Structure 1
Amino acid sequence: MKTTFISTQAVSSATRLSIMKMQAELAKNSKELGSGRWADVGLELGNKTGRTVSLRQDFARLDSIKDTNGLVMSRLDGSQAALEGMLKMAQDFSASLIGVRTGDTGADVIQDDAKNNLQALIASLNTSIDGEYLFAGIDTDVRPVTDYYATPVVPGTGPKAAVDDAFLTAFGMAQNDPAVINITPAAMDAFLNGAFAAMFDPAAWTDPTTGWSSASDQNVRSRISTSELVDTSANANEAAFRKIAMAYTMVTEFASSNLSEGAYQTVIDKAAEIVGEAISSTTVVMARLGTAQERVKNANDRMDVQMKILNTHINDLELVDPYEAQTRVTALETQLDMAYALTARAQQLSLLNYL
């Protein structure tokens, strides 16, 4: 016959272990009640755990792409705003060119307008958001366009010096020389279509010594969904920007009142032609970026639907019944209260009370 050892300490220890177990269970159920999900998903789902992990990875990936798309849209919106400003300036300048084709007063006015517009163009092409230049192509940390009017670090370099040298080579004099009145319309036309135009060709435009641009020809490509890659930027080397810079520079440097009327009209007519081409090219760039904006928006809408479906499946696997969880918490709290009471009563038991 076997007897069981009974003592106050044994009863107290058993009760204490029971309380610790209930406290752990209460903490687990309270967490589930507060979060609405299983406290230990792997324990509850068993072999279905891999499915919920996979669903959460898909959800996180879509959420990450959506966050990136927010930055992409900011870049596109900033680019479009800059392009709209460039287009408006070019359209106004085109209208001004028509009004100043003749007359000495017009020459001074249009030269000032061209200079201001050129400075504004350079500032727009150097627009940055969060430290990234919008028109630098993939080299977003590089300032894309040289300031035409800034003093170069190395004397005789930069686009301004190149323009001055080209004019001097072609005519044997500087632009502000009174003798420019002797330049014939044919000679001016040949210069504008020859040496001067060549300075705005892609290779010359990006020449490290005499060029304007340090931007990359390759635009930024962004993943806007799990299956789509889209060009989401423009760069300062595009024809639209080279042409508009060419027109502003042409008028700023050569549309002088010192020219003969025929040579002056040649400059204005050529500038009007180039501005017209630049306006058309700029609208093409804006349309391309607008298409990218629309694709990003549509991609976000599709991902919202996908994320909603994924979230539904995740909830089906991981959510707990809140009423059942509340019932378990209430029952455990009641059991703990009883256990605390029994423990207190057991601690008061002593043989000394009966001696």
Structure 2
Amino acid sequence: MKTSFVSTLGVSTATRLSLVKSQAELARASHELSSGRHADVGLTLGARTGTSVELRQELARIGTIIDTNGLVGARLDTMQAALSNVQGTAEDLLGVLIAVKEGSEAAEVVAPQAALNLKSLVGTMNANLNGQYLFAGINTDVPPMEEYFGPPPSAAKTEIDARFVTAFGHLPDDPLAATITPAAMAAFIDTQIAPLFADPGWGTYWSSASNENLSSRISGTETIETSANANEQPFRDLTMAYMMLSALGGETLSQGAYREIVDRAIGLVGGAMQDVTTVQARLGVAQNRVGDASDRMAIQRDILTRQVTDLENVDPFEAATRVNALMSQVEVSYSLTARIREMSLLRYL
């Protein structure tokens, strides 16, 4: 039989080691009580740790998509508001055109409003959100359109003035413009103006936007187009109509030549308004799909969160009971350690 050496130092050391262990357990239990989660998830879950990691990765992916959908929704809302403004200004001008097209002073009324509409349209096409141009397609870092009237005058204005001089021998605001016949104006529009609003003229003189719209992943399996671009037909038609009414010398033209411009503009604006409505409908469908996808993803997030909670979270009542028990144990250990330190033969000699 073997006996162990017993001393006050040995008992004190054993008590101190027990106290250190209890303090470590108390710190871990206190952390679990405050966080509601196991202090060492891997140690607690063991083989199920991989499941927890996979669930958290899926939660992070879903959270990222939901956040992205919020940005996409904001972009679509802003674009819809911009298109409503485009539709409203076009409708106002169309009403004026129909009302005054037979009047002798139509150009004096229409030209300033058309110039303002052109400026407004360019501003709308150049709208940006969070540093990205909304109507630039995938070229989100480039302003889609240049101001027509400048300063300095845009490449489009310079080109149109040059073509006008080549065709008629003078600028649009020259009094000689009164000699231009309706047939000559119609031919000029068809052969010299219209090509500037078709490819490649549109891209050369008017737009820096891409024909490819932005696409966004709105769920784990859905990717949709979530933008429009300045190259779409209604914006070309409105730009052409506004430019003709404001920049082809309306006040200096004969009534017949100017009526030719007005008739063309009425057709362009009326058709463009219908096409803008189509663009709005397309973006509206995208808005609905983004909202529905976010709702579905939110449900998935809630389900996964509950699964992670079931795996990783501690019972708060059990954690509180354990903390109280460990605190009591530590207090007893402190008391015992203090009493053992007082045990010395010197006190009895």
Residue-by-residue CA offset, 1:90-142 (whole Å, 9 max, x unaligned): 01111110112022332111000001111111111110111111111111111
Residue-by-residue CA offset, 1:281-303 (whole Å, 9 max, x unaligned): 11111111111111100000000
Runs of 4+ in structure 1 off by over 4 angstroms are none
Matched-pair contact (CA < 8 Å) for 1:104–1:257: no
TM-score by length of 2: 0.97
Matched residue, 1:234: 228
Separation in 1 of the partners of 2:254 and 2:106? 14
Separation in 2 of the partners of 1:279 and 1:170? 31
Matched residue, 2:283: 289
DSSP-derived class of the 2:224 partner: strand
Is 1:137 the counterpart of 2:163 in the alignment? no
How far has the Cα of 1:7 moved from its partner? 2.1
Is 1:271 the counterpart of 2:265 in the alignment? yes
Matched residue, 1:127: 127
Matched residue, 1:336: 330
DSSP-derived class of the 1:143 partner: coil
Separation in 2 of the partners of 1:95 and 1:243? 17
Is 1:203 the counterpart of 2:200 in the alignment? yes
Matched residue, 1:68: 68
* Alignment-mate amino acid for residue 114 of structure 2: A
* Alignment-mate amino acid for residue 87 of structure 2: L
Is 1:77 the counterpart of 2:85 in the alignment? no
Is 1:103 the counterpart of 2:103 in the alignment? yes
Residue-by-residue CA offset, 1:139-197 (whole Å, 9 max, x unaligned): 11111111111144xx8x60000111121222222101111111111111121222111
* Unpaired stretches in structure 2, ≥5 consecutive residues: none
Distance 1:255 1:173, change over 3 A: closer
Q: Among 183, 186, 204, which residue is 2:183 paired with?
A: 186
DSSP-derived class of the 2:200 partner: helix
Separation in 2 of the partners of 1:52 and 1:132? 38
How far has the Cα of 1:19 moved from its partner? 0.8
* Alignment-mate amino acid for residue 196 of structure 1: I
How far has the Cα of 1:320 moved from its partner? 1.4
| Equivalent runs, 1:141-160 vs 2, <5 Å | 141-152=141-152, 158-160=155-157
Residue-by-residue CA offset, 1:187-238 (whole Å, 9 max, x unaligned): 111212221111100311111xxx1111111111111111111111111111
Separation in 2 of the partners of 1:177 and 1:321? 88
Aligned residues: 349
Matched-pair contact (CA < 8 Å) for 1:32–1:320: yes
Q: Among 244, 250, 262, which residue is 1:256 paired with?
A: 250
The farther-off stretch of 51-60 and 314-323 is 314-323
Matched-pair contact (CA < 8 Å) for 1:255–1:267: no
Separation in 2 of the partners of 1:222 and 1:204? 30
Is 1:170 the counterpart of 2:167 in the alignment? yes
Q: Among 210, 229, 246, which residue is 2:240 paired with?
A: 246
Matched-pair contact (CA < 8 Å) for 2:114–2:245: yes
How far has the Cα of 1:255 moved from its partner? 5.5
* Alignment-mate amino acid for residue 321 of structure 1: D
* Alignment-mate amino acid for residue 96 of structure 1: V
Matched residue, 2:57: 57
How far has the Cα of 1:265 moved from its partner? 0.9
Matched-pair contact (CA < 8 Å) for 2:177–2:249: no
Matched-pair contact (CA < 8 Å) for 2:172–2:252: no
Matched-pair contact (CA < 8 Å) for 1:255–1:268: no
The CA RMSD measured in Å over matched residues stands at 1.3
Separation in 1 of the partners of 2:159 and 2:277? 29
How far has the Cα of 1:48 moved from its partner? 0.9
How far has the Cα of 1:308 moved from its partner? 1.1
The farther-off stretch of 266-275 and 186-195 is 186-195
